Structure 1
Amino acid sequence: MKKIKFLIAIATMFVAISCNDYLDTENIYGKSLETYYKTPTDIEEAMAGVYNALYTPNVFSNETIAANLMSDMMLGGGGPDDKGAKWVDNFEDPLEDTYRDLWVQSYNGIARTNAIIEKTVDADFSSYFSSEEEAQQFKDQAIGEALFMRAFYYFRLAKFFGGVPLIVAIDDPKDVPRASYSETFAQIASDLKLAIETLPDVPFPSIPTTAYGHANKWVAEAYMGRVYLFYTGYMTNMNNTPTNDLPLADGGSVGASEAAGYLEDIINNSGYALASDFRNLWPYSYVNIAAGAPVLPWAANEGLSWVGQDGANPTFGTGNYETMFAQRFSFGDWGWNNGNIYTNRMSLFSAIRGNSLVPFGEGWGWMPVNPKLWANWDDNDPRKVGSIIQVGQPEQGTDNYSLPGNQEQGTGLFNKKYTALQYPDENGAVKGMFVQLYNWGNADMQLMHAQDFIFMRYADVLLMYSEITGDATGLNAVRARAGLDPVAYSLEALKEERLHEFAFEGLRWFDLVRWGDVDSAFNYTINVNNSGTPATYKVNYRPETKGLVPIPETEIRLSNGAYEQNPGW
C-alpha cells in the first residue's frame, strides 16, 4: 500500500510538471523535455504520470462503471436523484460531456507515453546500473511499457468512441481529424506488437513485487488477443465488413494464428495460472480472517482464503498468480485535488444502498444486478453466489437488510466482486476492511475502497484462446476450476462461460457489441422496486449508435469542425 500512495504522490507531482508546462521552457521544477528522461528516477516519475491517467474525476468516465451500466447484467439503480446512472443505462445523453474525462485523461496518458517513447531511446542509463545488460533491460521495460500503455489508452478510446485522432509523437499536430476505425486499431495493434518485441521476457513469478501493477510482455500479449477479438468481431458483426485480420499501421496484419500464438506463449511460458478457487480472487474471501470472526458465515463454511492483490507475494493473502493487469487503488481524502478518484468507486457505487451491514457496507445502490442473470444461472456453479449478493440471507450477513425508501430499480441483488466490506474494530466501531488492514486514518465510507480493479485475468487468456482456435481446452480449464463438467466447443458455450466468469468485470458490454448481440440483448421487461413501489424496467438501446457513445460536445467545438459526432447522438 505504501507503493500505491507513493505512485499517487509522484503522479500528482508529474502532472504538475507535464504536458503544456514542460513542453515550453524550464519550469519552476527545473524539468523540461530537454532536461527530463535522463535518469531512472525521471522515467519512474514519468511512468507514474502515465498510470495516473487511468483515473477519471467524472464517475461516468470510469470505464468500468460506464461499461457495467450499459451491459445487460446490471440496471441503472441508485436513488431518485441519480439520473445520470439511469441515462447511461438507458443509452440517453442529455448532457454535453458525460464521457469527456475519459477522452481527456486518455489523451493525457497518450501524451505522456509519447514523451517517454521518444526521449528514452537516446538516454544512457549505464551509470545507474551494475551492468550494461541491466541498463538495457531498464530501458526496454520503459519503452515497451509506454508502448503498451499508449495502445491501452487508444483501445479504451476506440471501444467507447470508435475512430479517434491519432497523435503518436510529441510534435504531432493536436488538431488532426478522427482516424477511421481500422486506422485506429492498426495503431493499437502496432504498438502492442512493438511492446511485445521490446519488453523483457521475464516470467511473472520472477518479476519483483515492487514492479507489480506495471505492464509486462505477457500483459501486452493478452491485450493483443483482446484487441484482435474486439476488432474482428466489431467489423464483422457491427460494421458488416467481415474480416479475420487485425491491421497493422505498416500495412501488415495480425491473423488468427498469430493472435493465438501470443496467447499460447502466455499459457506455456508466463508463469501465470488460475487461482484454485474462483471465489478466492475477491476480497470478501478475506473478511473473516481480517475480522478474526466469521462475519461472513458462507465464506467460513466454504473455507475461502483470499489470494490477495499484490502479486505472488502479497501483503495480505496467499499469492495471486491469476491477475495480470489491474488498476491500483488506495484510499481517498476530500482535502486532495480530486481526492475521491483514487479509491475504487465501483465498490462504492455498486454497494448496497441505505444499509450498513456486516460484512457488506453501505454504498449508493447503482448497478443492481439483473434478476434474469440470477434466475438463469445454474445453482451448481459456485460463481453464482461467488459473484452476487442476495439480501435477506443470514449466511451472507444480509438478514438485517431493509429496503430503503430511496432505492430505484431495486432487485435485491448486488455485485459481490466489487463492494464495500467492513467489520467491527476492537472497540466495536464498524469500519472498512481495507481501512483497518492498512491502519488508514480516514474511515469515510466513500473513501475506504482500496480494492484493485482487475483489467485482465489469466482466465481470459484461456477463454480467448478457445474462442480464436475453437479448441475447448481453455474453456474447460475455466469450467473445471468451477467444478463443472467439460463441454464441446461452441460459440454459445463460450459466450455463456464468459458471462458467468467475468460478471461485473466491465467486459460484458464489449462482448455484446463485438458479437453483434447488442441489438437483441435488451428485449425484455423485468419487475423492479422504485422507492418501495413495484415498477417495471426496460432498456431502450438504439441500434443506430452501433455500440458507441457520443464524442464530448466540448471536444467537437474545440476541433473547429474536424470531428463529426457519432451516429445516433
Structure 2
Amino acid sequence: MKNNIYRLTIIFAFILSGCENFLDTESYTMQNSSNFPMTLEDAQKSLTGIYSTLSAAISYPQDTHFYMAELASDDRFGGGGENDKDMQGFDHLMNTKPSRLGTFWEARYKGIFRANTALETLNNCSGWESEAQKNHFKGEAYFLRALFYFELSQTFGEVPLVLKTEAENIPKTPADETYAQIASDLKNAINMMYSTPYTSVEAGHATKWAAETLMARVFLFYTGYYGKDSLPLPGEEGSVSKSEVIEWLEDCISKSGHDLVGDFRNLWPYTNEYTVENYEYTKGKGLKWEGDGNKETVFAIKFGTSVDWGTDFTLGYSNQYNLHFGLRSNNGGESTFPFGQGWGAGPVNSEMWNEWKQAEPNDLRRTASILDVETELKTYEWGADKQMEETGYWQKKYMPISAYDENKKFTLSYAILKDGAKVDYQLAHTQDMVLIRFADVLLMHSELKQDNSGLTRVRTRVNLPAIPYSLDAIKKERRWELAFEGLRYFDLMRWGDAAVELGEQEGVAIKNRGVNATMRAFGGGYKARYEATGGFWPIPQSQIELSNGVLTQNKGWGTADAEFPGW
C-alpha cells in the first residue's frame, strides 16, 4: 500500500491523461500532461483547481481546521445532539473515530498537489499579458501552498512536506523544515504578486497583502509555540525577522486599500437589507451589511448558489459552517427570527460572556457577536432536539440568517432573496468564510511592534477609549474583536496559555437535553489532554495504513484516555 499523497498523485495523473501512454503521447482530443496547461486560459483553470479545494473541504465542515479550532477553544463548547460525539469530542480534545480529520487531510494535500503542478507547469503557458501577470499567478500558487501547509501544521504538528508532483511515500517532516518552506513560499508570493490595491484583484483571489499578513500569523504562531525569535528559511537562505514582518504589515496597512468598516455590526449578515429592520437589535440604527468582499476582508473562501447534494465538490459551494452552527430544530424558525436552523454546534461558554461584560461593559461587540436567548429570543426552547452542552449563548457571526421579503413573507435565508440560492435551509448559505480580516492585521502589528497604534484603531471603531500597550491588553482585545473566527485556540497555543485556560471550562453550568448539568472532565480533563497532545490532533489512521507505517501517530493519541465516550 502507498501513502495517500501517492494515491492522489496517480489519480490526478490519470484524470489528466487522455490515452494509455499518457506520459509520452500527445493527445489531440483531451487535456493531459502533454498539452495542459499551455495557454493563459489553461493557467487560469489550473489556479481555479487549487482554489476549489478550499471550499471542497467544507463539504465536511466537522472535519476541518476551522471547526476544530472553534470547538476546541475555551470560548465554545461542542454542543449538537446527544449522538453528536464528533462535536463534543473536539471540545474535550478527544478522538471519536480512527480517521477523524481524514477528509481535511485529503483536501489539503489535493490542494498542495495542484499547487505543485501549477508551479511546475505555468512556465509552459503562452499568451501572458506580461511577465508580471505570470509572476502573479505563481505568487497565488505559492500563497495557497503556504496556507495549506500552515493549516496542516497547526492541526497535526508535523506532516509530510511534499514539494513536487512525483509520487513519494515519506515520513513526517520536522516542523522547522515545514515552517521554513511556508516562509519561503510566502516570501515568493509577496515578491511576485501585484503591488496594487486589493480592488484590482479578482474577488476571492489571494493578494500580496494577504501574503504579507499570513506571514505575520505564521511568524507569531511559530515563534510563540516553538519558542524561537525568527522564522527560518530553507537551507542557507537565512530567516525572516520580526522587523521584516512589521515592515510587511505596515506595507499592507498603508498601501493595500484595506481598512476597517465603519460599524462593527455591518460585518455580519444579520444587518442585510432583508433582515435589518425586522430584527429588534438592529432596527432603526441605520445599519447596513457591508457584504462579502468588503474592504475589511483580506482573504476569504467564496461560496455560491450552484450547491447541490450530488457531489462533495458541489456541496462545498455552500458555507456549511453556518448550517452546523445554527439552532437545533424547534428553534431556528420564524419564532427565533432572524437566527435559523442547523445542527446546534458550538454553544458559547457563558464564562466568556461574563468575563467580557466585566472587562468591557460598554463594548458593543459583545451583543453584536453573541446571542443571549434570554433577552433576544423569548420563544427559545431549551433542550430542543436533545441539544447538548447548551448555555443559552450562541455566536452571531457565522449563523443561518432568515429574512422577510418585500411582501413581509418569511423566508429561511436572506441569500434566497438576494442571490437566488436554493430553497433549502441546509444549502442556502453564501456568506464568505473570512480567513484574514484587517482588524487582525492591526492587532498583529501592535503585538509585534509592542505599541498601541493598531489596538487603538480597533477600539476606536467601537467607541472604547485608548489604552496603553501590554500583552495582556492584546490578549483581551483579540479575544473580543476576533471571537468565533477560528483564531482563539491557536492564540492560546502560541501564548502558552492553553492548558490553563482550557481547563477553566470544567464546572461551567450547561443543560443537556434541557436538564441542568455542568461541564465535566473526560480523559483526565482538558489540561491533561492538552499536555498529552501539545494541542495537536491525531494523524488519520487511514493515512498511517496507506503509508505502510512510514507515518507515525502523534503523541497523546491511540490510548483509552484519548477516546471520547460520550455523555
Kept in 2: contact 1:17–1:31 (CA 8 A): no
Alignment CA distance shift 1:335-1:94 (3 Å): closer
Q: Which residue of 2 aligns with 1:383?
A: 365
Q: Which residue of 2 aligns with 1:304?
A: 287
Local SS of the residue matching 2:67: helix
| Rounded Cα–Cα distance in structure 1 between residues aligned with 2:271 and 2:146 | 34
Question: How far apart are residue 519 of structure 1 and its match?
Answer: 1.0
Q: Which residue of 1 aligns with 2:560?
A: none
Question: Which among 562, 565, 569 is matched to residue 550 of structure 2?
Answer: 562
Question: Which among 318, 326, 341 is matched to residue 343 of structure 1?
Answer: 318
Question: How far apart are residue 342 of structure 1 and its match?
Answer: 2.1
Question: Which among 528, 541, 552 is matched to residue 553 of structure 1?
Answer: 541
Q: Which residue of 1 aligns with 2:565?
A: none
Q: Which residue of 1 aligns with 2:148?
A: 153
Local SS of the residue matching 2:48: helix
TM-score normalised by length of structure 2: 0.89
Question: How far apart are residue 156 of structure 1 and its match?
Answer: 0.9
| Rounded Cα–Cα distance in structure 2 between residues aligned with 1:427 and 1:305 | 19
| Rounded Cα–Cα distance in structure 2 between residues aligned with 1:483 and 1:16 | 56
- 1:230-309 mapped onto 2 (5 Å cutoff): 230-236=221-227, 243-251=228-236, 252-286=238-272, 289-291=273-275, 294-309=277-292
Question: Which among 164, 167, 190 is matched to residue 169 of structure 1?
Answer: 164
| Rounded Cα–Cα distance in structure 2 between residues aligned with 1:29 and 1:470 | 60
| Rounded Cα–Cα distance in structure 2 between residues aligned with 1:109 and 1:163 | 18
Deviations for 1:470-527, whole angstroms, at most 9, x for unmatched residues? 1111111111111111111111100000000110000111111111111111233201
**Are positions 1:123 and 2:118 aligned together?**
no
Q: Which residue of 2 aligns with 1:50?
A: 50
Question: How far apart are residue 423 of structure 1 and its match?
Answer: 2.1
Alignment CA distance shift 1:29-1:518 (3 Å): farther
Question: How far apart are residue 321 of structure 1 and its match?
Answer: 0.9
Unmatched tracts of structure 2, length 5 or more: 1-8, 558-567
Question: How far apart are residue 272 of structure 1 and its match?
Answer: 0.8
Local SS of the residue matching 2:183: helix
Alignment CA distance shift 1:386-1:309 (3 Å): same
**Are positions 1:38 and 2:38 aligned together?**
yes
Deviations for 1:200-249, whole angstroms, at most 9, x for unmatched residues? 111123x15xx11000101000011010001001102xxxxxx2110001
Local SS of the residue matching 1:101: helix
- Which letter does structure 2 place at the counterpart of 1:360? F
Question: Which among 480, 487, 499 is matched to residue 500 of structure 1?
Answer: 480
- Which letter does structure 2 place at the counterpart of 1:88? F
| Rounded Cα–Cα distance in structure 2 between residues aligned with 1:59 and 1:294 | 31
TM-score normalised by length of structure 1: 0.88
Alignment CA distance shift 1:194-1:83 (3 Å): same
Kept in 1: contact 2:40–2:126 (CA 8 A): no
Kept in 2: contact 1:465–1:474 (CA 8 A): yes
Which piece of structure 1 moves more, 276-285 or 349-358?
349-358
Q: Which residue of 2 aligns with 1:186?
A: 180
Q: Which residue of 2 aligns with 1:372?
A: 351
Q: Which residue of 2 aligns with 1:447?
A: 427
Question: How far apart are residue 19 of structure 1 and its match?
Answer: 4.5
| RMSD across aligned positions (CA) | 2.0
Question: How far apart are residue 28 of structure 1 and its match?
Answer: 10
| Rounded Cα–Cα distance in structure 2 between residues aligned with 1:321 and 1:86 | 35
**Are positions 1:78 and 2:80 aligned together?**
yes
Kept in 2: contact 1:392–1:400 (CA 8 A): no
Kept in 1: contact 2:204–2:300 (CA 8 A): yes
Question: Which among 134, 137, 141 is matched to residue 139 of structure 1?
Answer: 134
Deviations for 1:30-58, whole angstroms, at most 9, x for unmatched residues? 11222112112111111111011112243
- Which letter does structure 2 place at the counterpart of 1:361? G
- 1:302-451 mapped onto 2 (5 Å cutoff): 302-310=285-293, 320-331=294-305, 332-337=307-312, 339-354=314-329, 355=331, 356=333, 357-377=336-356, 378-393=360-375, 396=376, 398-403=377-382, 404-425=384-405, 426=407, 428-440=409-421, 442-451=422-431
Alignment CA distance shift 1:27-1:338 (3 Å): farther
- Which letter does structure 1 place at the counterpart of 2:417? Q
Kept in 1: contact 2:27–2:35 (CA 8 A): no
Alignment CA distance shift 1:323-1:16 (3 Å): farther
Local SS of the residue matching 1:448: coil
Unmatched tracts of structure 1, length 5 or more: 1-14, 127-133, 237-242, 311-319
Q: Which has the higher contact order (CA 8 A, sep 6+)?
A: 2
Q: How many residues align?
A: 523
- Which letter does structure 2 place at the counterpart of 1:280? N
| Rounded Cα–Cα distance in structure 2 between residues aligned with 1:283 and 1:343 | 15
Question: Which among 490, 493, 517 is matched to residue 513 of structure 1?
Answer: 493
Alignment CA distance shift 1:94-1:406 (3 Å): closer
Kept in 2: contact 1:19–1:111 (CA 8 A): no
- Which letter does structure 1 place at the counterpart of 2:515? T
